[in-house]
Structure 1
């Protein structure tokens, strides 16, 4: 029953963000999640909500097991109540509950300057960075939007390589995506579970977004999929995602986002070609994807002309290991955290395979 007050607070913390214009996004993420009830802790002052800390339950493949974990999302404190310990208390309470609920770990994608609030609780800390990749579709159009002058540059030639795949738009996710997950997931040591149930909730259950999902198949077997959306970057409009870019713009940029991509390498290559074709038809200026820094798909993106461009803020992945029934500052729990923090499996950057969709921004 607090959804309206929560969304009102979040719209103050992140002004201008579309998803906080009403309660639909919050209800989808926290009330309609099929993987269990969320962890939500609120801070109040004189009957008004001034703080919000939330953890979204998801399943993650960790080595050879699939475990319940938590994605830290949509957490913050009203600007008028910061630096007085409100956020620290919310973090402690949420982390303790996540351990009691059996979540093996919690993770979040942060801007490094925000991590001071988390370091005390997250004994693993930073495990990897997120890499932003872009591919410009029309350089002449893009440079005009920065300079305000018309320029002519040869367009990037279009490559078409279907390798006998049938690529089609998905309107309904079926059991074949469970088979895809079962066949492809062993190649990824740590990855959020992408089965039929997850895909239906993540991409077809959200009323505020119009995601487009393409699949690549052979012999009626799904061998990969990608998820796309478009958004507009406005000139001089502050956004933590584009603050380094928008200040130099003369005109809005149409950006195509590859939200998620998963499958065997050949299918991923074909799907990237399809994504480029789709975005050209939508008059997109630049394609943007974000992957964990050692993601195995990075080589495929690079071969197809994507480049790492630091026009977005540096984002890192930080992880907390949870100990059921332990309070964060107990000596016994602290020693156990130190033991877990030395586990090389979690500290190897190449073991973490995360995508745009695994963050809480899109």
Structure 2
């Protein structure tokens, strides 16, 4: 698709050089080629789901990215796209360019059987014009929980153990197998995904911890943690039924032992009562989940109140 010396097309090999250059111009942060490859190629080596706007003189001036991830949807294996790095150079911004960028890649995805496009936009995105044009539709607000940690000196302290895990631990896949039937819509949290998302991240450092009974080997839950200056982020978590409280108690005790004061997490609205019952205060996380409205993707009604996500589902935490 062309117009005003700009060609809108699907990603081609080598475009990443122009994409990372544009990223620096628009967002003011350096994205290395290693980071780009981790995000767009290592997540799904079969294909890069991105569209670009190419000016005949200035090169790549627009980009609409999608990170292709494995999902579970109504007990079926599926694929979805996390929409990210949507950007247009200030000199070339316009409704037509945004609309074309936002349609050509979803069309390709639907053709390949991908069922959903969604994201976690922050204030430095093109969300407002995309919503007003009907390219996106808000699904729900993302919630944040915060807690001033204390030491839980209860039965959990003695009945369970909280241990560092290796990303290659086969019990992670067994845990996912036990949990997935309780989730209507979720990213597949198996070893392959966790290793890509957390172990291989190009600049963030994460800790992987597991919960088991004191005299058992079965993995009952996992927690992914990342330490900031004044708080610990519970980036991701997964547990079998009735093990959320022991898992969170153990996470809190660990955070307390490090001397950190606050534990924070993101979660969907359907979990709010459980999170409050665990002692967290809750509020809006200042982001939301919009879905791509392109025909062929699942509807808002199939996502709202059903999608399990955490901080780790974003591309920036």
Please indicate the TM-score interval, normalised by the length of the shorter structure: 0.7 to 0.9
How many angstroms does 1:120 deviate by? 4.7
Q: CA RMSD in A?
A: 2.6
Gaps of 5+ in 1: 138-155, 233-253, 325-336
Over 3 Å counting, the alpha-carbon distance change for 1:82 and 1:285 in structure 2 is farther
User: Is residue 102–residue 135 contact of structure 2 (8 Å, CA) maintained in 1?
Assistant: no
Paired residue for 1:210? 205
Matched, 1:92 2:107: no
Distance, in Å, in 2 between the alignment partners of 1:78 and 1:271 is: 45
Structure 1 counterpart SS, 2:243:
helix
Matched, 1:302 2:315: no
Paired residue for 2:305? 350
Matched, 1:39 2:49: yes
Distance, in Å, in 2 between the alignment partners of 1:220 and 1:193 is: 23
Over 3 Å counting, the alpha-carbon distance change for 1:222 and 1:34 in structure 2 is farther
Distance, in Å, in 1 between the alignment partners of 2:180 and 2:95 is: 44
Residues matched between the structures, number: 298
Structure 2 counterpart SS, 1:109:
coil
How many angstroms does 1:306 deviate by? 1.0
Distance, in Å, in 2 between the alignment partners of 1:81 and 1:278 is: 50
Over 3 Å counting, the alpha-carbon distance change for 1:30 and 1:195 in structure 2 is same
1:167-178 pair list within 5 angstroms? 167-178=162-173
Paired residue for 2:86? 75
Paired residue for 2:234? 258
Gaps of 5+ in 2: 1-13
TM-score of the two chains, using structure 1 as the length reference: 0.74
User: Is residue 130–residue 317 contact of structure 1 (8 Å, CA) maintained in 2?
Assistant: yes
Distance, in Å, in 2 between the alignment partners of 1:80 and 1:274 is: 51
Matched, 1:10 2:20: no
Higher strand share: 2
1:1-362 pair list within 5 angstroms? 1-16=14-29, 20-34=30-44, 36-45=46-55, 46-110=57-121, 114-118=127-131, 120=133, 122=135, 125-137=137-149, 156=150, 158-159=152-153, 161-162=156-157, 164-218=159-213, 219-232=216-229, 254-295=230-271, 298-310=272-284, 312-313=285-286, 315-320=287-292, 323=295, 341=299, 344=301, 346=302, 349-362=304-317
Over 3 Å counting, the alpha-carbon distance change for 1:180 and 1:104 in structure 2 is same
Distance, in Å, in 1 between the alignment partners of 2:25 and 2:258 is: 32
User: Is residue 56–residue 71 contact of structure 1 (8 Å, CA) maintained in 2?
Assistant: yes
Q: How big is each residue's C-alpha offset from its partner over 1:87-108, in whole Å with a ceiling of 9 and x where there is no partner?
A: 2211111111111221112112
User: Is residue 226–residue 261 contact of structure 1 (8 Å, CA) maintained in 2?
Assistant: yes
TM-score of the two chains, using structure 2 as the length reference: 0.83
Over 3 Å counting, the alpha-carbon distance change for 1:180 and 1:66 in structure 2 is same
Distance, in Å, in 2 between the alignment partners of 1:199 and 1:265 is: 21
Distance, in Å, in 2 between the alignment partners of 1:162 and 1:63 is: 36
Paired residue for 2:9? none
Q: How big is each residue's C-alpha offset from its partner over 1:200-223, in whole Å with a ceiling of 9 and x where there is no partner?
A: 211112231211010112422111
How many angstroms does 1:278 deviate by? 3.6
Paired residue for 1:332? none
Structure 2 counterpart SS, 1:67:
strand
User: Is residue 74–residue 360 contact of structure 1 (8 Å, CA) maintained in 2?
Assistant: no
Q: How big is each residue's C-alpha offset from its partner over 1:297-346, in whole Å with a ceiling of 9 and x where there is no partner?
A: x4443223211135x52x2212236656xxxxxxxxxxxx8xx74x85x1
Structure 2 counterpart SS, 1:316:
strand
User: Is residue 34–residue 201 contact of structure 1 (8 Å, CA) maintained in 2?
Assistant: no
Paired residue for 2:7? none
